[in-house]
Amino acid sequence: MRYSNVDFNHKTILITGGAGFIGSNLAFYFQDNYPHAQVVVLDLFRSNLTLSNGNLKSFGHFKNLLGFTGDVISGDINDKVLLAQLSNQYKFDYIYHEAAISDTTALEQDLMIQTNVNAFVDLLDMAVAHNANMIYASSGATYGDAPSPQRVGREAPQNVYGFSKLMMDHTAQRYARNYPNISIVGLRYFNVYGNREFFKAKTSSMVVQFGHQLLSGKNPKLFEDSDKILRDFIYIEDIIQANILAAAPKESGVFNVGTGKARSFQSMVDILQRELGTSYTCEYMTNPYIGRYQFHTEADIATTQEILGYAPQFEFEQGIAAYVPEIKRLFQEELS
């Protein structure tokens, strides 16, 4: 399905983080809908390197790109020599920047700022040099525990990841003012779930994690009062829609990408049980994160609708139903 009137055929598109969750979905969107587009994927790909919290430094995985026929380059966005080589080798029309240290529990502030903020400046300079429109991943983490609905301009990040994304937004806004000949759009993703997230491991959505608990015959474990813990869960197809619309916006800016509807973790498990045909008893645990835990997120998407023409297509029930066949496949092929 095409989400925009923009013809990406015969255009050259760079996707950083293109072997990750959202980046790989973008790569296949362009391949499936614009066969004459040149799509270049840049990703660090995973290795045995971990952060101090034990989580992988990079989640990029070759299996997310099985069937992809474009250019694949392994490299670090912090590598200025590599970026210079890319800039000389290609003439980009669009840059989709999805690469980041995205682990919200990471403690390495230096690496977070270097990778998420400093390298972004290098990519913005590339966009300016190539006269390329820039679409980049911001985050709902910029809001911290700000009250719902979360609106641009009311940020209160509570970890270095959210801070780094807010600094990216400030930088992007400055570049947009100085270089009005290109568009620069930041998309603040809320709680994304869907195909190609599995290799994010512990940081993948609770939709796939609860799905695999249920398929294993285990009682789902929830925090107490999970019917009162709500998030704006958004299916990957709506994230892709927003990214494609952001290629030709009415104006540059930072925009929330969610459904505009908060749903509970309890409803997630209930929908999964219905779709999977299970009826396990939920087990409830004391929430150890009270005081540093978001109990309600809900994106204000009015500006996103007005400026980008964005209209979410998937209610929580529809998104989970669409995702369940992939959850089952992953359970059979990756976890068996």
User: What's the CATH code of the domain at 231?
Assistant: 3.40.50.720
pLDDT at 289 over 80: no
Angle between the N-to-C axes of helices 206-215 and 316-333, in degrees from 0 to 180, rounded to the nearest 10: 60
Q: Give a yes or no: residue 328 inside a domain.
A: yes
| DSSP alpha helix (H) spans, the chain | 21-33, 80-89, 109-113, 119-130, 160-178, 206-215, 236-245, 265-276, 302-303, 316-333
- In the predicted structure, residue 292 carries a pLDDT above the cut 70: no
Catalytic residue among 200, 235, 310, 323: 200
234-260 pLDDT per residue, tens: 999 999 999 999 999 999 999 999 999
Q: Which of 201-205, 259-263, 286-290, 294-298 has the lowest mean pLDDT?
A: 286-290
For the purposes of burial, counting CB atoms within 10 Å of the CB of 118, is it exposed (0-12), middle (13-18) or buried (19 or more)? middle
Would residue 175 show up in a list of annotated catalytic residues for this protein?
no
224 within domain boundaries? yes
Instruction: Please state, in angstroms and rounded to a whole number, the distance separating the CA atoms of residues 221 and 281.
Output: 9
The burial of 267, by beta-carbon neighbours within 10 Å (0-12 exposed, 13-18 middle, 19 or more buried), is given as middle
The pLDDT tens digits of the residues spanning 96-121 come to: 999 999 888 888 999 999 999 999 99
Does 2 map to a domain?
Answer: no
Please tell me whether the peptide bond between 149 and the residue prior to it is cis, using omega within 30 degrees of 0.
Answer: yes
Please check whether residue 5 lies inside any domain of the structure: no
* pLDDT value of residue 293: 65
Distance from C-alpha of 189 to C-alpha of 182, rounded to nearest angstrom:
22
Whether 63 is catalytic: no
Catalytic residue chosen out of the listed positions 34, 161, 175, 193: 161
Q: Are 187 and 246 in contact (CB under 8 A)?
A: yes
Mean pLDDT within 67-90: 98
Q: Beta-carbon neighbour count of residue 297 at 10 Å?
A: 22
Question: Taking 70 as the threshold, does the pLDDT of residue 312 lie above it?
Answer: yes
**Residue percentage of the chain with pLDDT more than 70:** 99
Residue 7 counted as domain residue: no
Task: Mean pLDDT check: name the lowest of 22-31, 49-58, 76-85, 206-215.
Answer: 49-58
Whole-number average pLDDT of the chain: 96
Residue 157 lies in a domain: yes
For residues 132-149, average pLDDT? 96
Domain count of the chain? 1
Is the model's pLDDT at 294 over the cut of 90? Answer: no
Provide the Cα torsion 305, 184, 68, 234; round to 10°. Answer: -30
Above 70 in pLDDT, residue 78? Answer: yes
Domain around 276: 12-333
